[in-house]
Amino acid sequence: MAKWKKSRADKKKQIDELTNKMNVAIRGYQKNPEEELKLLNYLKQFRKYSVRNAALIQTQYNGAVGVGSYKQFHEKGYQVQKGEKAIRILAPRFQDVFRDKNNVEKFVSKANMEEKKQIDNGKIKVKNKLVGYINVPVFDITQTDCPEEDYPKLYPNRPENFKFAGKEEEFKSINRAVHDYAKEKNIPVKHGKTHSAAKGYYVPSDHYILLRDDLSKTEETKVLLHELAHAQMHNEQRMKEKSMSIADTSILEYQAEMTAYVVSSSFELDTEDYSKKYLASWTKKEVENEEYLQSLEEVKEVSGKMIESITERYNSLQQEQNQNLKENNKLLTDREIANRLKFFTDKYGKNHYDELKDTQLKCTKISSKNQSDGKYQIHTVRLETEDNQIFTQRVHTPKIDTTEIKKWEKGMTGKEWLDRNLLRDVLIEHPDLKEKNVNGIYLNNEEYEDKLQDISEVTKYKERTQSF
C-alpha cells in the first residue's frame, strides 16, 4: 500500500514538473517574438498536439521532426535507438461523472446500486469529464533507426504533395488559391484606397475584406491571408463567443498575424522578419497564460484548416496548368532550355549540355552586377572542366550575398548551374517568348525585363542552393 502511494506521489510530482516547465516556456514565448515564431513552426508541424504539448516537445527536444509512442514506431517497423531519452508530454485523463440526488458530482465508478440502475435507464445523465493529466513518454523519429529519406513521408513539414520553387506561375496559383478560398468562405475581397497606411482591413459589420489597390502580388497574398484570419476568427458571430479579455484589439491583431505567418511559411512565402516585428509590440503585454493559450489554440485550428483547403486548390490549379501545357506541347526540356540560352554552347555553335549536365565544373572566375534596381543580379562565371574545356556563362539570379558567391566557387554540375539561372524559369513559364536575341535568349527586350522582374520578386534563393 505504501509503495502504491509513493508511486502516485511520484507521478504527481512528474506532472507538476512538466506543467511548471510548460508554463515557464509559455511565459518565454509571450516575451520573445523570435521564440514565439519557433513555437508557431512547431504548431504547424505537430498539428495533432495541443499548444501545451508542442511547447513541451520544443523545450525537451528542439528540432523534433515528428513524435510518436514506442509502440507506434514499432508498428511502423522502426526501433527506438538504445539509450535515447523519452520526451514527456501530458495526455488528458477523462472519466464518466454524474450528479447524485444532492447535486454532488460523482464518478460513475463510485455510483451505488440504485444510481447505476438509474444511469442504465437514462434517468441520470452521464458526461465524460476531464479530471486531470497523465505523463506520457514519446520519442522523435530522429531517435529511431528510421532512415532520413523516410522522414518527409511519415512527418511532412509542409502540406502533402505541395511543391513550390518560387516560380511566377506557381506564385500566381497560390494567389488564386487564396482568393478562391475566400470565395468558398463567402468573404468578398475588394480592391481600393484604404485612406491610411494600412495595406488592407476586414469589415466585420459587412463581412468583407478591402485590399489596397497598389499592392504587389506578393504583398497582396500575405495581406489577404492576414485579413482572412480576421474574417474567420473575428467575425461578429465568433466575437460574441469570446471573453472581453481575448476580444482586446491587440490580441485580435496578434492572432491574425500569427495565422498569416503559419499559413505563409507553409507555402514558403517568407514573412519571418515582418511577422517578428509585428508581434513584438503585442508580446510585451502582460497576458494570462490561459488567455494566451486559448489564442494560440484558435490560431492552430484556423491555420490548419486554411492550409489544407488552400493546398488542395493550389495542387488542382497546378495540375490544370501542367495539363494545359502538355496539351499545347509547350513544356521545354532542360536540353531545349540550354540550347535557347546558349548555355554550354561553344564558338562553333555546338551545345554541350548533355555531356556536362552531370559533370562537376570548377568556377575559376566570377563577376557580378545588380540590375533593375537591385531586384536581380547578372553573374558572369568562367567554368572549367577536368579536361580544360572552358565556358563563360551569364547566370541571372535573385540578389544574393557574398557567402553564396563563395559557395559557387566550389563548383557545381552543369545541371546545377542551369537550375540556378532565372532565365530558365522565364522560359519554363513563357516558352513562346522569342524573336529578338538578348543575352543569349530569344525574347523581346521589354517582355524579358518584365518577366525576369516578376520571377525574381517571388523566387526564394534557398530553393536554388538546397544541394549545398
The full DSSP string for 102-158 is TS-EEEGGG--HHHHHHHHTTSS--EEEEEEEEEEEEEEGGGBS--GGGHHHHS-SS
Residue 186: in which H helix or E strand, if any? none
| pLDDT band (50, 70, 90) for residue 221 | confident
- If DSSP codes are grouped into helix, strand and coil, which group holds residue 198? coil
Q: pLDDT band at 244, cuts 50/70/90?
A: low
Provide the residue ranges of all domains of the chain, joining segments of one domain with +.
Answer: 2-92+131-154, 168-327, 334-464
User: For the chain, how big is the Rg over CA atoms in Å?
Assistant: 28
Q: Is it the case that residue 187 has pLDDT exceeding 90?
A: yes
* pLDDT tens-digit series, residues 255-282: 888 888 888 877 777 666 656 666 665 5
How deeply is 9 buried, as exposed, middle or buried, from its count of CB atoms within 10 A (0-12, 13-18, 19+)? exposed
Q: Which residue has the cell 521532426?
A: 65
Q: What percent of the chain has pLDDT over 90?
A: 9
Q: Are strands 189-192 and 208-212 parallel, antiparallel or unpaired?
A: parallel
Amino acid symbol at 434:
K
User: What is the amino acid identity at position 467?
Assistant: S
CB atoms within 10 A of CB 88: 18
Report how far residue 115's alpha carbon sits from residue 80's, in angstroms, rounded to the nearest whole number.
47
- CB burial readout 92-122, b (16+ within 10 A) else e: eeeeebbeeeeeeeeebeebeeebeebbeee
Distance CA 183, CA 356 (A): 48
pLDDT-based confidence at 224, cuts 50/70/90? very high
* Average pLDDT value over all residues in the chain: 76
Is the pLDDT at 76 greater than 60? The verdict is yes
**Using CB atoms within 10 A of its CB, is residue 75 exposed (0-12), middle (13-18) or buried (19+)?**
exposed
Q: What percent of the chain has pLDDT over 70?
A: 71
Using DSSP, state whether 370 is helix, strand or coil: strand
**Hey, CA dihedral for 388, 392, 398, 402, is it positive or negative?**
positive
> What secondary structure letter does DSSP report for 234?
S
User: Which CA distances in Å does 327 have to 172, 175, 240, 298?
Assistant: 20, 24, 52, 44
| Residue pair 435/444 in contact by the 8 Å Cβ criterion | yes
Q: At what angle do helices 33-45 and 272-283 cross, to 10 degrees?
A: 120
Counting Cβ atoms within 10 Å, is residue 7 exposed (0-12), middle (13-18) or buried (19+)?
Answer: exposed
Q: What is the dihedral of CA 428, 429, 435, 436, to 10 degrees?
A: -90
pLDDT of residue 238: 80
DSSP annotation of 359 reads: S
Quick check: 109 pLDDT over 80?
Answer: yes
Cα gap 262→45, rounded to integer Å: 10
- For residue 236, pLDDT over 80 is answered with yes
Q: What is the CB neighbour count within 10 angstroms for residue 149?
A: 7
Across 290-317, average pLDDT? 83
Dihedral sign for Cα atoms in the order 113, 114, 120, 124: negative
Which one is predicted more confidently, 318 or 128? 128
Cell of 461: 534563393
Rounded (5°) CA angle 403-404-405: 90
DSSP 269: -
Query: Is 8 exposed, middle or buried, given 0-12, 13-18 or 19+ CB atoms closer than 10 A?
Result: exposed
Of the candidates 349, 408, 344, 358, the residue with the CA atom closest to the CA atom of residue 379: 408
pLDDT value, residue 294:
79
pLDDT digits (tens, 9 = 90+) for 115-159: 888 888 888 899 888 777 788 888 988 899 988 777 766 664 444
Tell me phi and psi for residue 13, to 5 degrees: -65, -45
pLDDT tens per residue, range 343-402: 898 888 899 999 999 999 988 898 888 875 666 788 889 999 888 889 998 888 877 777
